[in-house]
Structure 1
Amino acid sequence: MRYFLDTEFNGLGGELMSLALVPEHGDQEFYIVLPLPSPLHPWVAKHVVPYLNNVPPGHDCAPVSRLAAAEQLAEFLAGDLDPLILADWPDDIALFCALLVTGEGEMAPVGTLRFELIRSPGFSTAAISKVPHNALHDARALRDFMTHWEV
Protein backbone atom coordinates (compact mmCIF):
# COMPACT_ATOMS: atom_id res chain seq x y z
CA MET A 1 0.00 0.00 0.00
CA ARG A 2 1.13 3.54 -0.66
CA TYR A 3 1.01 6.06 2.17
CA PHE A 4 1.37 9.79 1.73
CA LEU A 5 3.48 11.45 4.39
CA ASP A 6 3.59 14.97 5.73
CA THR A 7 5.18 16.45 8.81
CA GLU A 8 5.28 19.77 10.58
CA PHE A 9 8.49 20.83 12.25
CA ASN A 10 9.99 23.79 14.07
CA GLY A 11 11.62 25.68 11.20
CA LEU A 12 14.47 24.57 8.96
CA GLY A 13 16.18 21.62 10.61
CA GLY A 14 13.84 21.89 13.59
CA GLU A 15 12.20 19.30 15.78
CA LEU A 16 9.26 17.19 14.64
CA MET A 17 5.92 18.55 15.87
CA SER A 18 3.39 16.40 14.01
CA LEU A 19 3.31 13.59 11.48
CA ALA A 20 0.58 12.15 9.28
CA LEU A 21 0.34 9.10 7.02
CA VAL A 22 -2.66 8.85 4.72
CA PRO A 23 -3.23 5.62 2.79
CA GLU A 24 -3.92 5.66 -0.89
CA HIS A 25 -7.08 3.61 -0.26
CA GLY A 26 -9.21 3.34 2.84
CA ASP A 27 -9.79 5.62 5.76
CA GLN A 28 -7.31 4.36 8.36
CA GLU A 29 -5.15 7.46 8.77
CA PHE A 30 -2.30 8.08 11.20
CA TYR A 31 -1.79 11.42 12.90
CA ILE A 32 0.31 12.27 15.93
CA VAL A 33 1.25 15.47 17.67
CA LEU A 34 4.40 15.70 19.79
CA PRO A 35 5.06 18.14 22.63
CA LEU A 36 5.92 21.58 21.30
CA PRO A 37 9.61 22.45 21.25
CA SER A 38 10.89 25.58 22.89
CA PRO A 39 11.57 28.10 21.67
CA LEU A 40 9.20 28.04 18.74
CA HIS A 41 10.28 29.55 15.46
CA PRO A 42 8.09 32.68 15.02
CA TRP A 43 6.75 31.60 11.61
CA VAL A 44 5.84 28.17 13.03
CA ALA A 45 4.14 29.74 16.05
CA LYS A 46 1.95 31.82 13.73
CA HIS A 47 1.31 29.44 10.79
CA VAL A 48 1.52 25.89 12.19
CA VAL A 49 0.77 25.72 15.92
CA PRO A 50 -2.77 27.15 15.65
CA TYR A 51 -3.70 24.33 13.24
CA LEU A 52 -2.15 21.28 14.94
CA ASN A 53 -5.50 20.26 16.45
CA ASN A 54 -7.61 21.19 13.42
CA VAL A 55 -8.44 17.62 12.39
CA PRO A 56 -11.69 15.67 11.98
CA PRO A 57 -13.23 13.84 14.94
CA GLY A 58 -11.63 10.50 15.65
CA HIS A 59 -8.07 11.80 15.52
CA ASP A 60 -6.44 12.25 18.91
CA CYS A 61 -4.49 15.49 19.07
CA ALA A 62 -3.15 15.09 22.59
CA PRO A 63 0.65 15.35 22.44
CA VAL A 64 2.48 12.05 22.89
CA SER A 65 6.11 11.35 23.67
CA ARG A 66 8.52 10.45 20.88
CA LEU A 67 8.66 6.88 22.19
CA ALA A 68 4.86 6.57 22.23
CA ALA A 69 4.68 8.12 18.74
CA ALA A 70 7.24 5.61 17.42
CA GLU A 71 5.33 2.70 18.96
CA GLN A 72 2.02 3.92 17.55
CA LEU A 73 3.58 4.38 14.11
CA ALA A 74 5.00 0.83 14.18
CA GLU A 75 1.59 -0.50 15.24
CA PHE A 76 -0.13 1.43 12.44
CA LEU A 77 2.16 -0.08 9.80
CA ALA A 78 2.26 -3.59 11.31
CA GLY A 79 -0.49 -5.00 9.09
CA ASP A 80 1.18 -3.95 5.84
CA LEU A 81 3.92 -6.24 4.54
CA ASP A 82 5.14 -3.84 1.84
CA PRO A 83 4.44 -0.20 2.75
CA LEU A 84 5.64 2.51 0.39
CA ILE A 85 5.92 5.93 2.02
CA LEU A 86 5.70 8.86 -0.40
CA ALA A 87 6.66 12.42 0.45
CA ASP A 88 7.24 15.58 -1.52
CA TRP A 89 9.87 17.04 0.80
CA PRO A 90 13.14 15.43 2.02
CA ASP A 91 12.68 16.58 5.63
CA ASP A 92 9.45 14.59 5.87
CA ILE A 93 11.31 11.34 5.20
CA ALA A 94 14.23 12.30 7.45
CA LEU A 95 11.93 13.17 10.37
CA PHE A 96 9.89 9.98 9.85
CA CYS A 97 13.05 7.87 9.99
CA ALA A 98 14.44 9.77 12.98
CA LEU A 99 11.21 9.12 14.86
CA LEU A 100 11.75 5.38 14.44
CA VAL A 101 14.98 5.58 16.47
CA THR A 102 13.90 4.85 20.03
CA GLY A 103 17.27 4.62 21.77
CA GLU A 104 20.92 3.93 21.25
CA GLY A 105 21.02 1.09 18.73
CA GLU A 106 17.25 0.60 19.01
CA MET A 107 14.33 1.33 16.74
CA ALA A 108 10.58 0.89 16.68
CA PRO A 109 9.53 -2.60 15.55
CA VAL A 110 8.76 -1.91 11.92
CA GLY A 111 9.28 -4.24 9.01
CA THR A 112 10.80 -3.31 5.69
CA LEU A 113 9.84 0.18 4.59
CA ARG A 114 10.31 1.80 1.21
CA PHE A 115 10.40 5.54 0.63
CA GLU A 116 9.90 7.61 -2.47
CA LEU A 117 10.59 11.30 -2.76
CA ILE A 118 8.17 12.53 -5.38
CA ARG A 119 8.48 15.66 -7.40
CA SER A 120 5.07 17.22 -7.63
CA PRO A 121 5.01 20.09 -10.09
CA GLY A 122 1.96 22.24 -9.53
CA PHE A 123 1.35 20.97 -6.00
CA SER A 124 1.10 23.56 -3.27
CA THR A 125 -0.26 22.75 0.17
CA ALA A 126 -1.06 26.44 0.61
CA ALA A 127 -3.33 26.29 -2.44
CA ILE A 128 -4.75 22.77 -2.19
CA SER A 129 -4.86 21.67 1.47
CA LYS A 130 -8.09 22.30 3.35
CA VAL A 131 -6.00 23.34 6.36
CA PRO A 132 -2.52 24.36 5.17
CA HIS A 133 0.33 23.56 7.56
CA ASN A 134 -1.58 20.76 9.25
CA ALA A 135 0.20 17.48 8.49
CA LEU A 136 -2.99 15.42 8.17
CA HIS A 137 -4.70 17.79 5.77
CA ASP A 138 -1.48 18.32 3.81
CA ALA A 139 -0.93 14.54 3.47
CA ARG A 140 -4.51 14.18 2.23
CA ALA A 141 -3.96 16.98 -0.28
CA LEU A 142 -0.77 15.31 -1.53
CA ARG A 143 -2.63 12.00 -1.93
CA ASP A 144 -5.48 13.64 -3.81
CA PHE A 145 -3.11 15.59 -6.05
CA MET A 146 -0.95 12.55 -6.87
CA THR A 147 -3.98 10.35 -7.50
CA HIS A 148 -5.32 12.83 -10.06
CA TRP A 149 -1.90 13.69 -11.50
CA GLU A 150 -1.02 10.04 -12.20
CA VAL A 151 -4.22 9.29 -14.11
Structure 2
Amino acid sequence: MLYSLDCEFNGFGGELISLALSGEAGELYLCRPQAELDGLDVHPWVEENVLPILDVAGARPDMMPLDQFGRAIQAFLAADKAPVVVADWPEDLIHLMQCLIISPGQMVRIPELAMKLVQVSAYPTDIAEAAQHNALWDARALRRAEALSRGEL
Protein backbone atom coordinates (compact mmCIF):
# COMPACT_ATOMS: atom_id res chain seq x y z
CA MET A 1 0.00 0.00 0.00
CA LEU A 2 1.15 3.51 -0.82
CA TYR A 3 1.33 6.15 1.94
CA SER A 4 2.21 9.80 1.48
CA LEU A 5 4.33 11.25 4.26
CA ASP A 6 4.68 14.77 5.52
CA CYS A 7 6.36 16.13 8.61
CA GLU A 8 6.49 19.51 10.24
CA PHE A 9 9.67 20.32 12.10
CA ASN A 10 11.31 23.24 13.84
CA GLY A 11 13.07 24.84 10.87
CA PHE A 12 15.45 23.07 8.52
CA GLY A 13 17.26 20.39 10.47
CA GLY A 14 15.06 21.04 13.50
CA GLU A 15 13.22 18.73 15.83
CA LEU A 16 10.11 16.91 14.66
CA ILE A 17 6.80 18.54 15.62
CA SER A 18 4.24 16.44 13.74
CA LEU A 19 4.14 13.52 11.29
CA ALA A 20 1.37 12.27 9.02
CA LEU A 21 0.88 9.31 6.72
CA SER A 22 -2.05 9.32 4.30
CA GLY A 23 -3.02 6.26 2.29
CA GLU A 24 -6.02 4.47 0.88
CA ALA A 25 -6.17 2.20 3.93
CA GLY A 26 -6.22 5.07 6.41
CA GLU A 27 -4.35 7.95 7.93
CA LEU A 28 -2.06 8.54 10.87
CA TYR A 29 -1.48 12.02 12.27
CA LEU A 30 0.82 12.40 15.26
CA CYS A 31 1.74 15.57 17.08
CA ARG A 32 3.88 16.27 20.10
CA PRO A 33 1.94 17.61 23.11
CA GLN A 34 2.12 21.26 24.07
CA ALA A 35 4.35 20.49 27.06
CA GLU A 36 7.05 19.12 24.72
CA LEU A 37 6.62 21.97 22.24
CA ASP A 38 6.99 24.49 25.06
CA GLY A 39 10.47 23.09 25.65
CA LEU A 40 11.61 23.96 22.11
CA ASP A 41 13.21 27.19 21.01
CA VAL A 42 10.66 27.52 18.21
CA HIS A 43 11.75 29.14 14.96
CA PRO A 44 9.66 32.30 14.30
CA TRP A 45 8.39 31.00 10.93
CA VAL A 46 7.23 27.77 12.59
CA GLU A 47 5.60 29.75 15.41
CA GLU A 48 3.62 31.75 12.87
CA ASN A 49 2.84 29.17 10.15
CA VAL A 50 2.84 25.69 11.71
CA LEU A 51 1.89 25.75 15.38
CA PRO A 52 -1.43 27.59 14.92
CA ILE A 53 -2.71 24.91 12.50
CA LEU A 54 -1.56 21.67 14.13
CA ASP A 55 -5.19 20.99 15.05
CA VAL A 56 -7.58 22.24 12.35
CA ALA A 57 -10.82 21.09 10.78
CA GLY A 58 -10.32 17.76 9.10
CA ALA A 59 -6.95 17.19 10.78
CA ARG A 60 -7.16 16.30 14.47
CA PRO A 61 -3.85 14.85 15.67
CA ASP A 62 -3.16 12.10 18.14
CA MET A 63 -1.09 13.95 20.73
CA MET A 64 1.74 11.90 22.20
CA PRO A 65 5.34 12.27 23.30
CA LEU A 66 7.87 12.01 20.50
CA ASP A 67 9.33 8.83 21.98
CA GLN A 68 5.98 7.09 21.35
CA PHE A 69 5.71 7.97 17.64
CA GLY A 70 7.57 4.79 16.63
CA ARG A 71 5.08 2.49 18.35
CA ALA A 72 2.16 4.37 16.78
CA ILE A 73 3.73 4.02 13.32
CA GLN A 74 4.34 0.33 14.01
CA ALA A 75 0.68 -0.21 14.91
CA PHE A 76 -0.51 1.76 11.89
CA LEU A 77 1.61 -0.21 9.40
CA ALA A 78 1.18 -3.63 11.06
CA ALA A 79 -1.59 -4.86 8.75
CA ASP A 80 0.26 -3.90 5.56
CA LYS A 81 2.66 -6.54 4.25
CA ALA A 82 4.58 -4.18 1.92
CA PRO A 83 4.09 -0.48 2.70
CA VAL A 84 5.63 2.12 0.42
CA VAL A 85 6.14 5.61 1.85
CA VAL A 86 6.29 8.52 -0.59
CA ALA A 87 7.72 11.90 0.40
CA ASP A 88 8.57 15.08 -1.46
CA TRP A 89 11.32 16.21 0.92
CA PRO A 90 14.29 14.13 2.19
CA GLU A 91 14.03 15.42 5.74
CA ASP A 92 10.54 13.90 6.05
CA LEU A 93 12.03 10.45 5.42
CA ILE A 94 14.81 11.13 7.94
CA HIS A 95 12.28 12.02 10.63
CA LEU A 96 10.22 8.91 9.88
CA MET A 97 13.30 6.69 10.16
CA GLN A 98 14.37 8.36 13.42
CA CYS A 99 10.93 7.66 14.91
CA LEU A 100 11.40 3.94 14.26
CA ILE A 101 14.50 3.86 16.49
CA ILE A 102 13.28 3.33 20.05
CA SER A 103 16.62 2.98 21.85
CA PRO A 104 20.28 2.51 20.91
CA GLY A 105 20.45 -0.53 18.65
CA GLN A 106 16.67 -1.17 18.77
CA MET A 107 13.88 -0.31 16.39
CA VAL A 108 10.18 -1.07 16.25
CA ARG A 109 9.20 -4.08 14.19
CA ILE A 110 7.57 -3.02 10.96
CA PRO A 111 6.85 -4.80 7.69
CA GLU A 112 9.41 -4.56 4.92
CA LEU A 113 9.27 -0.85 4.11
CA ALA A 114 10.11 0.84 0.82
CA MET A 115 10.56 4.58 0.44
CA LYS A 116 10.24 6.83 -2.56
CA LEU A 117 11.30 10.44 -2.90
CA VAL A 118 9.33 12.28 -5.58
CA GLN A 119 9.72 15.65 -7.25
CA VAL A 120 6.06 16.63 -7.13
CA SER A 121 4.65 19.90 -5.89
CA ALA A 122 1.67 19.27 -3.61
CA TYR A 123 0.47 22.87 -3.78
CA PRO A 124 -1.57 24.46 -5.10
CA THR A 125 -4.16 21.76 -4.45
CA ASP A 126 -7.83 21.54 -5.30
CA ILE A 127 -8.62 19.78 -2.01
CA ALA A 128 -11.21 21.85 -0.16
CA GLU A 129 -10.21 22.94 3.36
CA ALA A 130 -6.52 22.06 2.85
CA ALA A 131 -4.26 23.89 5.28
CA GLN A 132 -0.72 24.16 3.96
CA HIS A 133 1.95 23.43 6.60
CA ASN A 134 -0.31 21.04 8.48
CA ALA A 135 1.31 17.61 8.18
CA LEU A 136 -1.90 15.68 7.51
CA TRP A 137 -3.26 18.13 4.94
CA ASP A 138 0.15 18.25 3.26
CA ALA A 139 0.31 14.43 3.15
CA ARG A 140 -3.15 14.37 1.58
CA ALA A 141 -2.16 17.03 -0.96
CA LEU A 142 0.99 15.09 -1.82
CA ARG A 143 -1.03 11.88 -2.23
CA ARG A 144 -3.35 13.66 -4.65
CA ALA A 145 -0.53 15.39 -6.57
CA GLU A 146 1.42 12.16 -6.88
CA ALA A 147 -1.66 10.29 -8.17
CA LEU A 148 -2.28 13.07 -10.71
CA SER A 149 1.34 12.88 -11.88
CA ARG A 150 0.87 9.13 -12.48
CA GLY A 151 -2.35 9.81 -14.43
CA GLU A 152 -4.51 8.02 -11.88
CA LEU A 153 -6.95 10.91 -11.32
Equivalenced residues, count? 144
Structure 1 stretches of at least 4 aligned residues deviating more than 2 Å after TM superposition: none
TM-score normalised by L of structure 1: 0.89
Superposition pairs of residues 1-150 of structure 1, within 5 angstroms? 1-23=1-23, 25-26=24-25, 28-34=26-32, 35-36=36-37, 37-56=39-58, 59=60, 61-120=61-120, 123-125=121-123, 127-128=124-125, 130-150=130-150
Counterpart CA distance in 2 for 1:102 and 1:3 is: 22
Structure 1: give runs of 5+ residues left out of the alignment. Answer: none
Q: Secondary structure at the match of 1:140?
A: helix
Residues 1:62 and 1:79: Cα distance change in structure 2 (over 3 Å): closer
CA RMSD between the two structures: 1.5
Q: Kindly provide the amino acid, as one letter, of the partner of residue 30 in structure 1.
A: L
Counterpart CA distance in 2 for 1:54 and 1:84 is: 27
Counterpart CA distance in 1 for 2:45 and 2:116 is: 28
Deviation (angstroms), 1:111? 2.2
Structure 2: give runs of 5+ residues left out of the alignment. Answer: none
Deviation (angstroms), 1:66? 2.1
Deviation (angstroms), 1:67? 2.7
1:17-72 per-position Cα deviation (integer Å, ceiling 9, x unaligned): 0000001x24x100000132511000000000001011427x4x353112321111
TM-score normalised by L of structure 2: 0.88
Deviation (angstroms), 1:113? 0.7
The percent of aligned pairs where both chains have the same amino acid is 35
Counterpart CA distance in 2 for 1:88 and 1:4 is: 9
